[in-house]
Amino acid sequence: MPQKRKNLTIHFKNRKTIREKLIKEFLKEKPGTGKGELTSVYLYYVETLTDGRRIYLKRPARLNKGMDFEVNVEQTNFGTIRRTAMPSHKSILKDLKSKKKKNPRNYKKVEALIEKIYSCEDVSDAQMRAIKFDSGHPIELILKSIKWLFIEQDITYWNWSGRNMFYSGIIEL
């Protein structure tokens, strides 16, 4: 089956609402009829970065089943050993740690935006673009990736700590 592509906008309100809206979208998917080309594959474009690259969710995820998804960023490499468009918690934490070390003052602003994202508050593109770093990925890419990694954790680990697992790693930097 060819990939199905869809633009999707979900506004922040609270964890429960975000989870419900996203899962309701997933429930509209047509089932696959087997493995390989018979698998139904869906791409949900959820963010567009200032430079035109898009963040998208891919379903199904390679390792998990059910409602899980992968977060990807077009034309971006997060890998150190092999190329991957999927930001991992480790790659995000490494980028943030480097930013904090090189510019602690700007990093304080990033921390405030991450806290807002964690609390399901909207952060504007202008707020993200106002913070500049000379290294790593653009902060807009990092923050929007964090948003969707939080959401992925909420769905996968809803009955446990959800987004708090990743957030605790960020605040310990």
pLDDT tens-digit profile of 53-79?
Answer: 999 999 999 876 678 899 999 999 999
pLDDT in tens, 140-167: 999 999 999 999 999 988 888 889 999 9
Confidence of residue 44 (pLDDT cuts 50, 70, 90): very high
pLDDT of residue 2: 66
Is the preceding omega at residue 60 within 30 degrees of 0, hence cis?
A: yes
Question: Can you list the pairs that 30-34 forms with residues at least 24 positions away whose Cβ atoms lie under 8 Å?
Answer: 30/4, 32/1, 33/1
Query: Count of domains in the chain?
Result: 1
Q: Which of 16-20, 34-38, 74-78 has the highest mean pLDDT?
A: 74-78
| Residue 82 domain boundaries | 4-171
pLDDT band at residue 12 using 50, 70 and 90 as cut-offs = confident
Contact 58, 72 (CB under 8 A): yes
Q: Which of 27, 54, 52 is nearest to 42 (CA)?
A: 27
State CA 75 to chain mean position distance: 15
Q: What single letter denotes the amino acid at residue 104?
A: P
Phi, psi of 92 (to 5 degrees): -65, -45
pLDDT attached to residue 35: 86
- Give the whole-angstrom CA distance, residue 15 versus residue 56: 19
Residue 66 Cα distances to 58, 83, 156, 160, 166, angstroms:
13, 26, 9, 17, 21
With 80 as the cut, is the pLDDT of residue 10 above it?
yes
